[in-house]
Structure 1
């Protein structure tokens, strides 16, 4: 249970990681924004947890949880705590987030992680749009798996694209991370492959 050991060590370690501020979007179409702060302790936990990823698939599973944590911590400081999965359960509520709010905010979170060199197997891309049934448009944050080695025939491999979609579940829950082709075909309810034990947002005292 290597990931659990890393998680426990990270929560107790006094790692020197600078805190960070970031603006989160809400109330549909990024109509409003709130500035939130992530503490050194929170970011130390995130950095250690991602550092334990053994490969790209493992990193994606960890990203699903990390994005949930970061949005949950943002909810402790802003009205986005009221956000519920989809666009129905929180209709008209201050703090609701549509797919535009989520795709922009999650992309900002991913760039924050990438700027700290915590994404070893992926790079951040611009948000992606899918359109189904003519009018059903939906946006998501997007990452590309880094191509570390050429294929056996010497031809550069094509980067595999994935979405990090935090819109489907309530605030603080793991994001949906899946391949872009599967998402474009209508996917979006896949849960993280990591045990549910770590799916809850880590709590921090004063």
Structure 2
């Protein structure tokens, strides 16, 4: 389960309902709407507010420096040839950004995947944290014009226990030409590893 805590089963059920509401209709609305609904803070300029401790319980500001933005620009430029190449660049950028953020936030040892015992631990992240942080990094990149083939969509969620799946959320990019949506899911991986990138339809059909 991506979002777990030490609270009662009743609260888990509420969390599941909220996640289900978030994915109703597989909505891909404006990314900014996600933050208010999930206790996050949208980026302000080159500053993002890194969610951690599960469910955005903690938010630590992180400012991308000019040097870091220059590195990010070069990484995206390597994927300018096609949408597929850009998605590969996105995976590399998200892994790199986690390596930059880790020492500041204390998330360098964040454990990927199911990690109930780390609920509430500063620096550890569930899928709500991960989806929010990935979206924030992508919004900064988009604001600087680094994304040529995609736009940043709102994160979405799947699973609500009754269908046999745990609630889980992911960041989303939409391919500009075709309109196809892709999941950028960093939750299954440890800090600093490339996220899982796949068509969003396939992500909805898969299990955590």
Q: Quick one: distance in 2 between partners of 1:90 and 1:81?
A: 17
Q: Provide the C-alpha distance between the structure 2 equivalents of 1:187 and 1:142, rounded to a whole number of angstroms.
A: 17
Summarize deviations over 1:42-88 as a string: whole Å, max 9, x none.
21111012112210000001101101111111002112223110132
Match of 2:169 in 1: 139
Structure 1 outlier segments of 4+, above 2 Å:
132-135
Residue 13 of structure 1 corresponds to which residue in structure 2? Answer: none
From 177, 180, 191, the equivalent of 1:171 is 191
TM-score by length of 2: 0.72
Deviates more, 1:80-89 or 1:69-78: 80-89
RCO higher in 1 or 2 (8 Å CA, sep ≥ 6)? 2
CA distance in 2, matches of 1:132, 1:109: 27
Q: C-alpha displacement at 1:30, in angstroms? A: 0.3
1:94 equivalent in structure 2: 122
Contact 1:126 1:142 in 2 (8 A): yes
Matched, 1:180 2:185: no
Q: Specify the structure having the higher radius of gyration (Cα).
A: 1
Residues 96-175 of structure 1 aligned to structure 2 (within 5 Å)? 96-131=124-159, 133-134=161-162, 136-147=166-177, 159-175=179-195
Deviates more, 1:75-84 or 1:98-107: 75-84
Q: What does residue 99 of structure 2 align with? A: 72
CA distance in 2, matches of 1:68, 1:89: 23
Identify the structure with the greater helix proportion. Answer: 2
CA distance in 1, matches of 2:136, 2:197: 16
Q: Which runs of 5+ in 2 are unaligned?
A: 1-44
RMSD: 1.9
Question: Does structure 2 retain, via aligned residues, the 8 Å contact 1:68–1:171?
Answer: yes
Unaligned stretches of 5+ residues in structure 1: 1-18, 148-157, 189-206
Q: Would you say 1:34 and 2:64 are equivalent positions?
A: no
Tell me the number of residue pairs that the alignment of Structure 1 and Structure 2 aligns.
160
